Copies of this chain bind each other. A is one copy, B any other.
Amino acid sequence: MKNVKIGILGFGTVGAGVVEGIINNGELLAQRTDILPSIGKIADLDIESDRGVNVDTSLLTTDALSVINDPEIDIIVELIGGVTIAKKFVLLALEAGKPVVTANKALIAEAGRELFEASAKSGAGLYFEASVAGGIPVLRALRDGLVGNQIQSMYGILNGTCNYILTRMEREGLDFDTVLADAQKLGYAETPPDLDIDGDDTAHKAVVLASLAYGAPVPMDAFTIEGIRGLSHREIEYADELGYRIKLLAVIRNVDGQVEMRVEPALVPKDHLLASVHDSFNAVFIEGDVVGDTLYYGRGAGRAPTASAVIGDIMEAAAGTGGSCKWLLQNKTLPVRGADEISVRCYLRLSLKDQPDAIADVAHVLGKNNISIGAVLQKEQNLGEQVPVVFLTHKALEKDFVAAMKEITELTVVDGKPVRMAIEDFE
């Protein structure tokens, strides 16, 4: 039996969950792995508050450096969050040759290259399963189970707050703002909610997934990012009628040797498993060239699910396996497909003046821009002069959509701002 001592930096919700998990299931961990983990030290600025776990107060310190530098501590667990301070401590630990476990997606997404290089240099492993999709062991699946696969595509529902909002909008017929306010009241959404609802949190996680799949520290700006802020309930209703649900998706696709990366609200066919991921759950759909389609589902955040992933990483770090960052530095510059060159199907909703040539005018602009129409949905409505019309297009280039939308907005038959969203067919 090997004993390992854990030093925890950041004693917040997840930190307390990790301590609790190791206390409750320590014996099981030892039986399963022949390694007994124990808490060596915990650093936090606040060492007074009660976290609801029973910790010997002598383990608590406000001095993170004393944890990193303690020769009795074998593994550092970074649960501080944010980038600046967390990065400093993680680099110090790696340079000291101590493996680091972190749940910090912003850190990996924004400072990945620097951390991977520090890890590769010192040989101390860096483990970050908990940074993507919480308790779902999806990074391990990518790294180990699917190691023999070229990754053709990944589609992720990676932000529980957005999925919770979309689920409630759909189920209860509520507005975006109403659900967001309620989610904030219930603690399911932060105040301000920007990182979640504008897609940045999803992009952070998508960067980590893409890095691992393609062996490159992917820069954030490789992604086009659109969130769900202000999404109209009308889109959810039309999508429903047309056989789709709206999900905030991270899309990562290998197309002709280039990687296409985007975060956006998209229409997902109801019979696809991702359409059945409700509430605050996360899921990642991964297509490999050998294995075909696979999917991984679970809780994407929260004290216990995140702790589950952190503990998994701790045990791997303790065994001295995994954690190598060499592969992550293979592809020095990942070939990224330019946003304009991405080919998508789209949902367009326009408010048209109720006059005979309106649809023809729009169809003409689309056609001129190499966009063909797959379906048109016009409901008989009486909104004075405006009639909402939904177009579903065939696949076309993003740059053609951009040009067409500019022209369409200027048409005299079009009122207000058109709405455009991608339709994902997972092909």
Complex Cα distance, B311 from A146, in Å, reads: 8
A340 within 8 A of partner (CB): no
Q: Is the CB of A137 within 8 A of B148?
A: no
A32 within 8 A of partner (CB): yes
Are A292 and B304 also in contact (CB < 8 A) when A215-B32, A276-B273 are?
yes
Are A297 and B295 also in contact (CB < 8 A) when A147-B33, A147-B311, A276-B273 are?
yes
Q: Is the CB of A298 within 8 A of B294?
A: yes
Query: A149: which of B148, B271, B294, B308 is its contact (CB, 8 Å)?
Result: B308
Give chain B residues whose Cβ lies under 8 Å from the Cβ of A29: 147-148
A residues 147-184 near B (Cβ < 8 Å) are 147-150
Q: Is the CB of B296 within 8 A of A295?
A: yes
Q: Is the CB of A312 within 8 A of B21?
A: no
A residues 265-323 near B (Cβ < 8 Å) are 271, 273, 276-277, 281, 283, 288-299, 304-305, 307-309, 311-312, 315-316, 319, 321-322
A46 within 8 A of partner (CB): no
Q: Is the CB of B305 within 8 A of A290?
A: yes
A411 within 8 A of partner (CB): no
A residues 1-47 near B (Cβ < 8 Å) are 17, 21-22, 24-25, 28-29, 31-34
A420 within 8 A of partner (CB): no
Q: Is the CB of B312 within 8 A of A146?
A: yes
Query: A129: which of B25, B145, B308 is its contact (CB, 8 Å)?
Result: B145
Complex Cα distance, B305 from A290, in Å, reads: 6
Q: Is the CB of A34 within 8 A of B326?
A: yes
Are A296 and B296 also in contact (CB < 8 A) when A145-B140, A215-B32 are?
yes
A258 within 8 A of partner (CB): no
Query: A294: which of B135, B271, B304, B319 is its contact (CB, 8 Å)?
Result: B135
Complex Cα distance, B312 from A315, in Å, reads: 20
What's the nearest-Cβ distance from chain B to residue A375, in Å?
Answer: 23
Query: A144: which of B25, B215, B288, B316 is its contact (CB, 8 Å)?
Result: B316
A232 within 8 A of partner (CB): no
Complex Cα distance, B311 from A321, in Å, reads: 18
Complex Cα distance, B30 from A396, in Å, reads: 37
Q: Is the CB of A291 within 8 A of B276?
A: no
What's the nearest-Cβ distance from chain B to residue A228, in Å?
Answer: 22
Give chain B residues whose Cβ lies under 8 Å from the Cβ of A292: 135, 298-299, 304-305
The 10 closest A-B pairs by CB, nearest first: A137-B145, A148-B311, A294-B298, A291-B308, A135-B291, A295-B297, A290-B308, A321-B321, A32-B327, A137-B141
